[in-house]
Chain A
Amino acid sequence: MLAYIARRLGYILIMLVLVSFVSFLIIELPPGDYLTQKLQELQARGDRSAEMRIAEYRARYGLDKPLLERYWIWSTHFIKGDFGDSFEFERPVTEIIGQRAGMSAILAISTITLTWLLAIPIGVYSATHQYSIGDQITTIVTFIGLGMPGFLLALIVLFFAMTVLGQEVGGLFSREFQDAPWSFAKVVDLLKHLWIPAFIGAVTGTASLIRIMRGNLLDTLGQPFVEAARARGLKERTVIWKHAVRVAINPLIVILGSEALPQIIAGNALVATVLNLPTLGPVYVRALQVQDMYLAGTVLVFIVGMTMIGNLLADLTLAALDPRIRLE
């Protein structure tokens, strides 16, 4: 087991090095990035402080050196926890990520909780009442949900909230609570705003979960051990929830693992951009738009790292829950 984890971690490490190099290439290659623009701007000003800034940037990022060496400088700094500066926000990347990671986590956790609370019961109902009216309706709704992209749904919700409800949507806090210290009223205000992105995330996320849950449970319900449980005279509820669902839910854990952690970092970046949320997603989008290279690169590396760690955790959980699975 330990050997397995060590091997997987080693694999993740190798992948991360490769991924960081590719991210670096993606960041570095395009001409006209933010740093170049910034340098030109400073050069145009041409005064002493500007020249000093240019020299500082040159030294820090090794701008005169070849590509590989620049990657080396970036990655060694990266390991030490220095992710470089964001040129747009004019602050260290660490600070920006730290500031927004909390909100991203809150949003991600509430979205995932809502999604699962909706998806599992509906999926179970749909499977145990196969071909009933409720099941047919669920099928149609999930069908639409599968095809509905989050950011378009967010636009539609925004439109209805503004025209029908006459409510300002966007952000996670009302203006008066924006910079206020945490209090009960602020939490209430947060909840008032939070449900919209959480709802949008849930609508797009539940559809596939319901489909998978329904399919798995249908497969499981046909197996002999369920029959055996029924023959033992157990209540139908016990048979379904304690025996069948426990087996059928396993594949969903893999999905949870590969989605939950990266969601904390990037979340649904597009939805968050539409609703203008103070999470990491919109920062990433913005950083890409203006070619704010170090910020974008750092977030990208983090997303990939989180995905891989999430996958590992999911595999370990699965092995712990399902004794038939052996890790080799």
Chain B
Amino acid sequence: MAEQKVPETNKKRQISQSYWSLVWWKFKKNKLAIVGGILIILFYSICGLFAEFFAPYTLDYQSDYLEARPQPVVFKDEEGNFSLRPAVYGLEEKIDQTLRKRFYEVNRTKIYPIYFFVKAEPYKLLGFIPTDIHLFGTDPADPEAHVFLFGTDRLGRDLFSRIIYGGRLSLLIGLLGQILTFTLGMVMGAISGYYGGVTDVIVQRMTEFVGAFPDIPLFMALAAAIPVTWSPILVYFMLTLILVFIRWGGLARQVRGLILSLREREYVLAARSFGASDARLMFRHLLPGTLSHCIVIATLMIPGMILSETALSWLGLGLRPPLTSWGVLLQEVSSVRSIRFAPWLLTTVPFVLLAVLSFNMLGDGLRDAMDPYGGR
């Protein structure tokens, strides 16, 4: 009896699996994709939501240490004995006589312990909860103490904090731009594929025309056309719109192709014969069929958006200070001089690469998972 029952319940469970739970099943098996997904969540929560909490200093805090090198982290207390509490060595200012340049040396006699959940500069968590607790920092009672894990820039601002803050705009432009591209691409593709005829021709010619321009040169030309006099926020939104304007065509084409094949299916005919309206057919029956495909494309397009912003801002054509993004941070290493004397400013690069890689890993996993019926 018991032996017979087991396969039956198993079978029942399998039948009742929905498409999305099958997708989740398959996705879970892909370790790289899971890692990518977790990294992305971490990126967005650390940089996007709680940057003020994770950064030891505020965005515009200027210390007296200009272009200081990163302080090594050690596990020693002030007497030099081992302790579990991490600490950083102090920095000492020196002058290089031959280059006539100020530089910093690690002063191993001075040790500043790092405390967690310290009270430092006040800020508003998520924009409305006033608090002054930071994840880590030096003893607030000691004005001499400082912690620059990645060094400081030319104005003495802590690079670690700035990378966290910079990620906010860089990652947001990827997400925001992609949501807009997604919406526009889906709607235009659906209209083009569903109605056909003149509408189709117009949309197709539009995508072809934008597609005739190579990506990067057109980005640069459009971004350069943004007036310098505009406010930073306006520039930010304009840049997002430019990214959307150039990218929506590719998605629209794919959606159109899918819609063309879907609209001849029997279930669509059935829905139409029941008297479903155009809008209902499109949004209830056709677009959901293209959704899984589009989510994959959209995920894989986000890194391109982030990199475009980074490249444009780095060239000085995109975001400009006082806005801080990863591209703006990289502006400071665009000269050979700064790579030689302040190579730690390149620390931004691994973060950009990691974010891009995470999205690629997630997108690749999603692509495999979205087709749970085929393959191994």
**Interface positions of A (Cβ within 8 A of B):** 15, 18-19, 23, 26-27, 29-32, 143-144, 146-149, 151-152, 155-156, 158-159, 162-163, 170, 262, 266, 269-270, 273-274, 284-285, 288-289, 291, 296, 299-300, 303-304, 307-308
Contact = CB atoms under 8 A, between A and B. Distances in A.
Contacts of B346: 155-156, 159
15 contacts: A19-B209, A27-B221, A30-B224, A149-B356, A151-B311, A266-B214, A266-B216, A284-B217, A284-B220, A285-B315, A288-B224, A289-B224, A289-B316, A299-B217, A307-B214
B229 interface: yes
A288 B352 CA distance: 25
Contact of A26 (B225, B229, B360): B225
B20 interface: no
Interface stretch (B37-45, B72-80, B94-102, B335-343): B335-343
Sort A-B residue pairs by CB-CB distance and give the 10 closest, nearest first: A288-B224, A147-B356, A30-B225, A147-B360, A149-B307, A147-B357, A26-B225, A26-B221, A288-B220, A152-B349
Interface band, chain B: 35 or more
Given A144-B357, A269-B217, A159 B339 contact: yes
A274 B311 CA distance: 11
Nearest to A274: B334
B212 A308 contact: yes
B303 interface: yes
A162 B336 contact: yes
A262 B214 contact: yes
B333 A155 contact: yes
B226 interface: yes
A15 B262 CA distance: 32
Contact of A307 (B212, B315, B316): B212
A15 B360 contact: no
Among B314, B339, B349, find the residue whose CB has the most chain A CB atoms closer than 10 A. Answer: B339
Given A147-B360, A284-B220, A291-B224, A155 B212 contact: no
Contacts of B334: 274
**Chain A at the B interface: SS class:** helix
B227 A143 contact: no
A316 B308 CA distance: 33
B353 to A, nearest CB: 7
Given A155-B339, A296-B221, 4 more contacts: A159-B339, A270-B216, A270-B311, A300-B217
Contacts of B343: 159, 163
Nearest to A308: B212
Contacts of A288: 220-221, 223-224, 317
Nearest to A291: B224
B25 interface: no
A155 to B, nearest CB: 6
B222 interface: yes
A299 B217 CA distance: 9
B84 interface: no
A19 B213 contact: yes
A266 B357 contact: no
Given A32-B228, A156-B349, A159-B346, A18 B209 contact: yes
Secondary structure dominating the interface of B: helix
A151 B221 CA distance: 18
B340 A162 contact: yes
Contacts of A27: 221, 225
B320 to A, nearest CB: 12
B97 to A, nearest CB: 21
Contacts of B225: 26-27, 29-30
Contacts of B222: 26
A148 B333 CA distance: 18
Contact of B336 (A170, A266, A269, A303): A170
B336 A158 contact: yes
Contacts of B340: 162
A215 B218 CA distance: 31
Contacts of A151: 311, 314
Contacts of A296: 221, 224
A32 B227 contact: yes
Which of B209, B212, B229, B303: most chain A Cβ within 10 A? B212
A287 to B, nearest CB: 9
B227 A31 contact: yes
Contacts of A19: 209, 212-213
Contacts of B352: 152
Interface in B128-173: none
Nearest to B211: A307
B349 A155 contact: yes
Given A26-B222, A262-B214, A307-B214, A152 B353 contact: yes
A296 B225 CA distance: 11
Nearest to B334: A274
A147 B317 CA distance: 22
A117 B64 CA distance: 53
A308 B208 CA distance: 11
Interface string B298-342: 000001000100110011110000000000001001101001100
Nearest to B354: A147
B212 A32 contact: no
Best-buried of B227, B316, B353 by chain A (most CB within 10 Å): B353
A32 B353 CA distance: 35
B70 to A, nearest CB: 15
A296 B223 CA distance: 13
A274 B224 CA distance: 19
Contacts of A30: 224-227
Contacts of A26: 221-222, 224-225
